[in-house]
Amino acid sequence: MVAAPKSGSGKTTITCVLLQSLKNNGMQVVSYKCGPDYIDPMFHERVLGIPAKNLDTFFTGEEQTRELFLKNRTDEEFVVLEGVMGLFDGLGGTREEGSSYHLAKVTKTPIMLVVDAKGMGRSVIPMIAGFLAYDTEQLIRGVLLNRMSGAYYDRIRPLIEEELQIKVFGYFPERKDMVLESRHLGLVLPNERKDIQKKLQNAAQEFVKTVSLEKICQTAEQAEALAGGSDRKAGISSGTAYDTETTQGWKTCCMEMDRAGKKDAPVIAVARDEAFCFYYEDNLRLLQEYGARLDFFSPLHDQALPERCHALLLGGGYPELYAEELSRNLQMRKAIKQAVSQGMPVVAECGGFMYLHSAIRDREGTEHPMAGVLTGVCADTGKLVRFGYMELEEKQSFFLPRGEHIRGHEFHYFDSTDNGEDCLARKPVTERSYSCMIEGENYCLGFPHLYYPSNPSFAKAFVEKAAKYQKGTE
């Protein structure tokens, strides 16, 4: 696991460069991201050419998280987990559950602590010492010093290893060309960064000069074995590479995943392009495991929905950045409104929810017409509206058995004039609750991002509704 004392330490950069270095070394590499994050896994995908997954002990508990970790894995694979926030930061910033450390404990994964050492001298030693003292499972097996000069590294490394009895894997100098810029929902997407793959390749060549890949691999080999077996019956081989940055790449990927499925299976049309790109890989796999076929399309570029589709999945993303282009695609807006009005099942989260409104109002006050399925308007509030984990329970059972809940998170600056009141959301630490979501027999629409494995009944119900619609139309 690549973890750090705090956010902004360079975990994503180091993870991507490490992935590239391992790949260059001929290793079969797979990756995971700890916590509810969509963008960091996109960077992993850009390096490896295969989908990355998320693991979260709040979403799925200890046993199920281990099962998801082992699923479709083999002993030949080198697995890299990227942590989230600070190593011990979990629910509410105070609990262990949901933290990088909890995930490392559950999966018995050795930790490489990435320390942003810029502006620090000997003070880096007591800081590392504090983390080692708090590591009750002794999972921190090495340190990487980020943004440090080679000259100072040669002086500080012997002191760290002598005083703390911890391996120092190396250092990585500051590289302004590898700074990953942020925006209101996280990092700027990898396909928006010019020459990202060339820069990663160049950085990887420098990485192996200052970091001991051999020590990292030796440490990884010391990971304790986990009980459980590999199950490759579902999904694509982790060694199969696809261009997952494009809609066509995802169509190819899903054709591979659907080969074992029935040709007469219900088809869920999944919006995937620059505006709609926030999807958990395990959500998509679960829909397939329950019998659905996935067909990806672009609300930005396509003029019509995929032929013979029986449900719609509109994920999150950045529709506000492409509001003008989405608005200009009148044919797609009409097609989606018509499909929903005819009873086609639809699940829409955050950005997808915004797209279904009558309009999105930008920061300049201009309203861009959207699909018009909902009468409300979405507008930028200029601040974070809702943030963090939540549990969602339906007031009337449509997608979940009565009394059950599904877990997810919210993270959005835009808000709607009508967020709905058909579900009850509860915060796990404060237990504060509020109404949200617009739901009915065939639709579930709202800002929350749901993690289907936390309650697979949701995915099963969605596929069953798609099958019912298919039967009624064909």
Active site residues per annotation? 350
SS3 string, the chain, reads: CEECCCCCCCHHHHHHHHHHHHHHCCCCEEEEEECCCCHHHHHHHHHHCCCCEEECHHHHHHHHHHHHHHCCCCCCCEEEEECCCCCCCCHHHCCCCCCHHHHHHHHCCCEEEEEECCCCCCCHHHHHHHHHHHCCCCCEEEEEEECCCHHHHHHHHHHHHHHHCCEEEEEECCCHHHCCCEECCEECCHHHCCCHHHHHHHHHHHHHHHECHHHHHHHHHCCCCCCCCCCCCCCCCCCCCCCCCCHHHHHHHHHHHHCCCCCCCCEEEEECCCCEEECCHHHHHHHHHCCCEEEEECCCCCCCCCCCCCEEEECEECHHHHHHHHHHCHHHHHHHHHHHHCCCCEEEECHHHHHCCCEEECCCCCEEECCCCCCCEEEECCCCCEEEEEEEEECCCCCCCCCCEEEEEEEECEEECCCCCCEEEECCCCCCEEEECEEECCEEEECCEECHHHCCHHHHHHHHHHHHHHHHHC
Query: In whole angstroms, what is the distance from residue 236 CA to residue 242 CA?
Result: 10
Helix pair 11-24, 213-221: axis angle to 10 deg: 90
Which residue from 460, 185, 465 is spatially nearest to 350, judged by alpha carbons? 185
The per-residue b/e assignment along 385-397, b for 16 or more CB within 10 angstroms, e otherwise, is bbebbbbbbbeee
Structure tokens at 313: 């999945």
Q: Which amino acid is at 242?
A: Y
Q: Which residues contact 208 (CB under 8 A, 6 or more apart)?
A: 21
Query: Residue 48: left if φ>0, alpha if ψ -120 to 50, beta else—which one?
Result: alpha
Structure tokens at 197: 């793959």
Q: Which residue has the tokens 């979403």?
A: 59
